[in-house]
Amino acid sequence: MSGVPSTPANKPASKFDDLCLALGLISSSKTPKELCERLAKTLHELADHQPIALYRRLESGELRLTYCYPAASAIPSYRQLLTFRSLDELRTSNYHHYELKGQHGVWGYIGLPTVPPEDALQWVAVLIDIAAQRLHLLKAEHMAERQLGLKARRRLLSRDIKRLTSLADFLQHHGHGWCDIFQAKGIALVHKGELYHFGECPDRQQIFQQLGRLDATTTQDSTVELEGDCQGGLAAPLILASHHLGWLLIFRQQAMVAAADVASIAQFSFWLPIEASMVLELADDLAVAITALDVVHVNRQLRKTNQRLESLAHTDLLTQCWNRYYTESVIEALCASKAACAVLMFDIDDFKRINDTYGHPTGDDILREIPRLATQVLRSNDHLGRWGGEEFIVVIADATLEEGVYIAERLCRHIEQHPFSIPDAVTISAGLTTIRADESPRQLLERVDKGMYLAKTAGKNQVMIC
């Protein structure tokens, strides 16, 4: 490292003090952005107010403009300074440049129109040397912190795969932490044509226009810096077992560029290779999380389908109460268990006449209304099934004969008093019995059917015990 130059004979002490102060500020910069700003402004002063451009050198050798001072709009005569994309272009131009050395070779270059005045050259060398060392230290410290932070966040993501139920939930719980690690303003996930985002992101149309230009077969170890309205964004493919699941997009502010119109002049880089590698690590974890969510979703849909199929197997489609098949199986189980319960069979009186007079749609409406009315009378552990046509069976659980009679009579009166859609009264006739020891389901059903028949012949709208 060069020592601090002595005060030039033709430079006043105040100028020397200013340069020493600038040197101290650069060596104490807290962020690369702050360092670039202070270095560019100081060099601008030393170089007789020439514009200063800082370029980052990519692994490919390509140059990307990182910072310029003053703003591009203030240097219309030096537009080429903002457009260099390679060191060869910079070398063969009439512009002057310096290396900004890093730990492994050259980190970047500093460009300006002409060589600074001779009495400033030693100061320029010292400033750039100090800035390079400070930049290396800042990047090493900060990158180590960010890598540790990402490692912790990846563990949290792995834990939350079983707890969170959607990509929106993942972004809500982890978006702030990811933005902090990647110094980003927003994060977006694209999966199955849907966009999920956290923080400040370009609008949906801009994002999908950018992704439309990317190759869906992008390899798992590559990222793409976005352009145009999405400039500052990095896209990483979400790939698992060679299947492309979508994209992870992280957006940064265009903060390192002090110009409003430079986007039309050059392609800027906002991401270091190690940062892109970290984004790919996160993309790998998100691909696993997305696959897990998809599996959970498929399983949930299968459970719903199975429940629906089971319901269809047990349910009468018109009345939505038990169908005959399921009602028979329940009665068989009750007879085998010798449970104490009453069984009620009823049908709607003169239902054929209702159908003939008012039509089958009206008859269907009444059939649908009967179970609703029955549930208003029956207890929560009682069950209603459609036996066939206008006939129904009620299993009155844990009931004596007297309790069964009480419920059956209430049901008859409740239906009789209900105002149906037809002017005629609608009533039911019912047979009631209890399960007897060593009785087969067939014997039980024959006896309760006989009770219903006796209620019909006795004048209808009543309950017969059998």
How confident is the model at residue 248, as a pLDDT?
A: 93
**What pairs with residue 432 in β-bridges?**
344, 465
Q: What is the mean pLDDT of each run of 10 residues along the chain (466 residues)?
A: 51 73 88 89 92 86 88 78 89 91 81 91 90 84 75 79 82 90 91 92 90 68 82 88 89 54 47 85 88 79 75 84 91 85 95 95 96 94 93 93 94 96 95 90 94 95 94
Question: C-alpha angle 85/90/95, rounded to 5°?
Answer: 135
Please report the DSSP string for 5-59 in residue order: PPPPTTS-HHHHHHHHHHHHHHHT-SSHHHHHHHHHHHHHHHTTT--EEEEEEPT
How confident is the model at residue 79, as a pLDDT?
A: 82
Cβ-based neighbour number of residue 434 at 10 Å? 19
Inter-residue contact 211 to 180 (CB < 8 Å) = no
Question: Phi/psi of residue 319, each to 5°?
Answer: -100, -15
SS3 of 362, please? helix
How confident is the model at residue 402, as a pLDDT?
A: 93
Q: Between β-strands 52-57 and 63-69, what pairing exists: parallel, antiparallel or unpaired?
A: antiparallel
**What pairs with residue 251 in β-bridges?**
186, 233
For residue 108, which of 126, 90, 122 has the smallest C-alpha distance?
90
Residue type present at position 256: M
Angstrom CA distances, 422 to 73, 81, 347, 367, 368, stand at 84, 90, 18, 13, 14
Question: Phi/psi of residue 252, each to 5°?
Answer: -110, 155
Distance CA 463, CA 452 (A): 7
Provide the edge-to-edge strand list for the sheet that holds 383-388.
383-388, 391-397, 341-348, 428-434, 463-465
SS3 of 271, please? coil
Distance CA 54, CA 72 (A): 13
Please report the DSSP string for 127-194 in residue order: HHHHHHHHHHHHHHHHHHHHHHHHHHHHHHHHHHTTT--SHHHHHHHHHHHHHHHTT-SEEEEEETTE
Q: What is the pTM of this model?
A: 0.46
Q: Could you give the angle at which helices 121-160 and 273-314 cross, rounded to 10 degrees?
A: 20
Inter-residue contact 188 to 197 (CB < 8 Å) = yes
